[in-house]
Each structure stands twice: as C-alpha cells, then as structure tokens.
Amino acid sequence: MSDPATEPGAPSGGATEIPPASEKSVAAEAKKRAPKAVSLAATPDRILLRLNKLLATPGGLSSFLSTFNYTLYLLAYLESKSTPLKIRLYQLLNRTAAVPALDATPSHIAALGAMVSTTRTTLRLFGLLPLYAWLRQLMQGPKPGQDQVLYTTAVTQCLLYIAFQFLENVGLLADAKVLPTSYTARWTRSSGGTTAKIYLWSYRAWMGGVVCDLVRLFREAQLERSKRSKRAGTADVSAREADEKTDQQWWSQMVVPLSWLPVAVHASKEGGVPGFNLGLMGVCGAMAGLGRTADLWAATAE
C-alpha cells in the first residue's frame, strides 16, 4: 500500500499531519457543524422512549388514552365547523366565487376518537378489580384520626363507582352478545331492545362519584381552614410555604371533578343536555385529564 503522503490531495508534510480517524468521523463532523440538527434528529427517539415509560407507569395508559380521546373529540368538532373556512380559502386562492364540492366522507379524526373510546371501555372491563380492593380496604373502618365525613364520602364514592363499572360492563358484554339477551331483557325492553338504559344508569352512578369528589374536596378545605385558624399568627415561613403547596394541590384536584361534572350531567340525562356538543365534551374531558397526564409525562424525564 502506498504512503498516504503520495496520494492525490494528501498533505505534503507526511502521514503524521493527517487528522486522527475519530476526528474525521461523519458523526463527529455533523455534531460539530450542525449540533441543532443532531439534537432535532434525536428528539423523536427521546419522545418515543418517554411515551413508552409513561404508558408503563401505573395509570399511565388510562390517563394518556383519556386525554388523547377527548382531544380527538375537540379536533373532530373543530374539523366539522371548518367548512366555511375551507370554502373561503378556496375562493381566495382561486379568485372565484364558486363553491367547491367538498369531500363528504366521514371524519377520520372522529373515527379515531370513537375507536379510542371503545378501547378505553373495553379496558375498563377489568376496572372492578381495583375497586374491589379499595372497598375491602374501606371495610376495615376509618384510619386512626380520619374524619368521619371523608370516610363516609369515600365509601359512598367507591360503591357508586362499583355500580358504574358493573353496569357499563353489562352493557358492553350485552352489546357484544357475550351475555344472553334474557339476562338484560328487563333493562332493554323499555329502550327498544338496546342497552341505552343500562348505560344511562351507569353514567348516573358515575356522576354521583364525581359529586363525591367535590364533597371530599370541600370537606378537606373546611378542615384545612380550621387547622390554620388554630395557629393563626404563629406560622413560620416553612409553614406558609407548605400551606401554599397544599392550596396549589387542592386547586389542581378541584379542576378534575369540575371538568368532569358537565360531561357526567350530559351523559346521565336521557337525551343529553341541549347544546352540549362534541367540542364542549372534548374541552371538559381534556381539561380533566391534562393535569395528571402532564405530571406523569414530567416524571418520565427523571
């Protein structure tokens, strides 16, 4: 093999002046010359790994699917209302007053939202197991020093959620023909053979559980005010910081039932609430799950 110094374009001073191989690597040169491009190229990989970590955490899959589902509802509603904008843009770009023939095919976003909703309902078939574990824990009685109102509220909420989950499971299994029609005939007879009544009472039980969350939070606020009034004027800086953190957590928790309540009222009313559309449902549902999903996402960076 010839000496590198005699090759065309090689340094005239000999092989010792040729940069080491590591400095000539494509990756090193790319990183040196375009660090932003390399960083952007690595971003999808980091996002996918963090998403995988999020879905693997307890409650991560449920929280992500809920937020994703209601975001799709909002997007589907906005898409359905974008027809006048599409027509106006077409007329401006083509300098014409003619109205284009828009595609009348069903929305792909709405179809995806319906599929995710069905997936979430199917996954909730196993939701009675953690509720049973919660009920067993509650049946041991209130913990030492636990407020009786909070304990009673927790028992009531647990029973309501069990009723919700049981009825929803019955409705889903009946629709899938897993349960014989004779098992649900007394429920479906009044609704023309459909499971609408079963789901209606299921959602009413869910609304009761959401109301229990509001009762719990208001009771916790009442107890917190009473505790602070007893040490009024004696709290130090650390105590005030702890109070501020408690207040922030309370408000972030309050957002959840306040966001779910309009959805629950709409679902539990036969025929729904007039004017409550898919867009409002999407906003409420996304707001309800956004905080928890954001916290779980932030935890994946650790």
| Same domain, yes or no: 69 and 90 | yes
Residues 6+ apart with CB under 8 A from 21: none
Smallest CA-to-CA distance from 124 within 187, 177, 167, 179 is with 167
Q: Is 129 exposed, middle or buried (0-12, 13-18, 19+ CB in 10 A)?
A: exposed
* Residue 270 in domain: yes
Among 165-174, 176-185, 187-196, where is mean pLDDT lowest?
A: 187-196
Asked if residue 51 is part of any domain, the answer here is: yes
Number of helices (H) and strands (E) in the chain: give both, helices first.
12, 0
Amino acid 11 reads: P
Claim to verify: residue 105 and residue 145 sit in the same structural domain: yes
Based on the fold, state whether residues 45 and 117 are members of the same structural domain: no
228 vs 10: CA distance, rounded Å? 80
Same domain, 35 and 167: no
Q: What is the structure's pLDDT at 227?
A: 86
Residue 224 lies in domain:
64-229+252-299
Q: What's the pLDDT at 90? A: 62
Are 220 and 152 members of one domain? yes
**Same domain membership, residue 130 and residue 46:** no
Q: Of the residues 56, 74, 103, which one is the last residue of a structural domain?
A: 56
Question: In this predicted model, what pLDDT tens digit does every residue of 69-92 receive, in sequence order?
Answer: 999 999 999 888 877 766 676 667
Task: Identify whether 44 is part of a domain.
Answer: yes
pLDDT at position 22:
45
Task: Round to whole Å and give the CA distance between 228 and 234.
Answer: 10
Percentage of residues in the chain with pLDDT exceeding 70? 79
If pLDDT is split at 50, 70 and 90, which confidence band does 241 have? confident
Residue 213 lies in a domain: yes
Does 149 lie in the same domain as 224?
yes
- How confident is the model over 60-70, as pLDDT tens digits? 899 999 999 99
Is the residue at 247 inside a domain? Answer: no
Task: For residues 155 and 99, state if they share a domain.
Answer: yes
Of the candidates 121, 276, 149, 300, the residue with the CA atom closest to the CA atom of residue 215: 149
74's CB contacts (< 8 A; 6+ apart) are 278, 279, 282, 283, 286
Choose the final residue of a domain: 56, 73, 99.
56
Number of domains in the chain: 2
Same domain, 89 and 38: no
Residue 17: is its pLDDT beyond 80?
Answer: no
243 vs 277, higher pLDDT: 277
Query: Between these two residues, 220 and 228, which has the higher pLDDT value?
Result: 220
Q: Average pLDDT over the chain, rounded to whole? A: 82
CB of 174 closer than 8 Å to CB of 188: yes
In a domain, 150, yes or no: yes
* Domain match, 132 and 273 both: yes
* Last residue of one domain, picked from the residues 38, 56, 74: 56
Question: HSE-up of 73 (CA within 13 Å, CB side)?
Answer: 22
Of the chain, the percentage scoring pLDDT greater than 90 comes to 49
For residues 37 and 165, state if they share a domain: no
Residue 1: per-residue pLDDT:
41
Closest CA to 55 of 43, 66, 44: 66
pLDDT value for 277: 92
| pLDDT reading at 121 higher than 80 | yes
DSSP 3-state percent helix, strand, coil across the chain (nearest 5): 75, 0, 25
Q: What is the pTM of this model?
A: 0.78
The answer on pLDDT for 176 being more than 70 is yes
Residue 237 domain flag = no
Nearest-angstrom CA–CA distance, 27 and 163: 59
Q: Is 153 helix (H, G, I), strand (E, B) or coil?
A: helix
201 lies in a domain?
yes
**Domain shared by 167 and 275, yes or no:** yes
